Chains A and B, each alone.
Chain A
């Protein structure tokens, strides 16, 4: 129901430029996750959509309508804050209906909406309680209910799960996905947690230093990164990156794409090395293998290789990614691709 478009957005804090002439579209109905290291401008962008941290220059469009100068309340967006920003002096009910009251929604309608939404998020029986008596997960639900009750065109979420414990975070993740499927509204979700981004997003926007590194589905971001930053930011352990001799050009492969063997196998890329460390994680084992001054991480289902033993590292050609001196990807259709591959 709502497409968001940024046009030449610039944001400065004093002399510090956070975003410089940024252009971006967020698709209608998508679950778009903005991810990046701290200070990359993802939250700044979210606050620009909400109107609570307006841009220095540029325009924001919602469904083609210019909302750049509109006050937050007139934008038809709702936001869930990192620490929920629940009004601590109000009851749960008052928290949820505060916006409705300010918008002069009649009492009967208000009651009906609060009841309906609080049942959906599962806080129907705590409407008369004060937030201080509730747990973190329950407060999170109040914040969600407060956003949902306004029936906004866009949901903005600023690291909403970061204050929950690990178990609750996983279950809330599923609930948010279900919520998005049910509402079919545009979700814009900011996080620095790549698991959250990969598992929830239909679309990921990866940012660094105010610049969009790549915008794609989780699968494309993971398997087909545009640049070195994207390749290294997503994935755990990180992608192995090795520089060609005396060159800024480098190649990389993901730890789980490596095959470990005792004898040299039939792989495009084969090296002999020594296992330096071994971390047994249960279903998989992470080895650190060292060869010719390089150290690579290997994620393997086999836990039979021992520390200090000699192994062969093998990677298929399709699993090797090339990056040029500007840290941009060299794809197979690039004329430079074959030349560099020959060197391996």
Chain B
């Protein structure tokens, strides 16, 4: 240290010292701005423009929003998305928790079962779409054979507007359950065994042990899963695209499929697509915020 620096009053920093930390983070900030912040701002701006992918965009103000909110198709798409999310998140997480608890003992069969359950997660959806098309075939599909076996009538599955959404939800659950189970299983393994022994001595039954010990102890992982599963289901696209193309009619048209349709199937509706994308982003944002507000106090971090 030089004499000059000792003479300086405490806390004083030269302009260079003040600037230096910002220069260190500049590269990261640059790419973040370029690839994350800019596209979002651009999306919002373009949602106020009329554009057909070719001609020069023209400013139309809130017209795009007025248009989509006045159409039943868009409102329906929101409801389809919400329905899908409620089932996939709600059922997906509760079933996964159930399986994780059930398979928590490390035996050969349990390990095998967990591995098999995880497989859908690593298989590309496109390649299993064919299999599901066969399983859900309205004439001689596996699911209908099972229904008939129990004396129940056949369903048309993805071919009927009554059951198409259910079919998509089933495939989504099938795909997500192994991954969720694996994460919850890992979380449960980290709960110290003495806690359960202490609970045994405290006369806690298994339901009590689950709700008073297991669930609070795995709450950080559950919270993380809840948020990723929710945002994931709001952005669902591939299952719909592959299985139903949003149909029959618009019965399985979810928000992202609606956006895709406006932009790439119906020519020149890019403005509507952008407006819908902004609405989707706002919904996910509000929901995530709500989760943090309502639930984060109940999440127990070590």
Contact = CB atoms under 8 A, between A and B. Distances in A.
Contacts of A85: 192, 194-195, 197-198
B208 interface: yes
A87 B300 contact: no
B98 interface: no
B201 interface: yes
A52 B300 contact: no
B42 interface: no
B202 A88 contact: no
Contacts of B198: 79, 81, 85, 87, 146
Given A50-B201, A77-B201, A81-B197, A88 B212 contact: no
Contacts of B216: 89
B202 A52 contact: no
B82 interface: no
Q: Which of A77, A82, A90 has the most CB of B within 10 A?
A: A90
A103 B199 CA distance: 12
A73 B203 contact: yes
Interface in B174-227: 192, 194-195, 197-205, 208, 212-213, 216-217, 219
Interface in B148-193: 192
Contacts of B212: 87, 89-90, 98
Contacts of B14: none
A87 B203 contact: no
**Chain B binding surface SS class:** helix
Given A85-B197, A85-B198, A102 B300 contact: no
Chain B, interface size category, equals: 20 to 34
A205 B195 CA distance: 28
Contacts of A74: 203
B300 A79 contact: no
Nearest to B215: A89
A99 to B, nearest CB: 4
Interface in A103-129: 103
Contacts of B203: 73-74, 99, 102-103
Interface of B: 192, 194-195, 197-205, 208, 212-213, 216-217, 219, 300, 302
Interface of A: 50-52, 71-74, 77-79, 81-83, 85, 87-90, 98-99, 102-103, 132, 146
Given A71-B200, A89-B212, 18 more contacts: A50-B201, A52-B201, A72-B197, A73-B200, A73-B203, A77-B201, A83-B192, A85-B194, A87-B195, A87-B212, A87-B213, A89-B219, A98-B202, A102-B203, A102-B205, A132-B302, A146-B198, A146-B202
The 8 A-B pairs of least Cβ separation, nearest first, read A73-B203, A99-B202, A89-B216, A85-B194, A102-B203, A85-B198, A72-B200, A52-B197
5 contacts: A87-B198, A87-B212, A88-B300, A88-B302, A98-B204
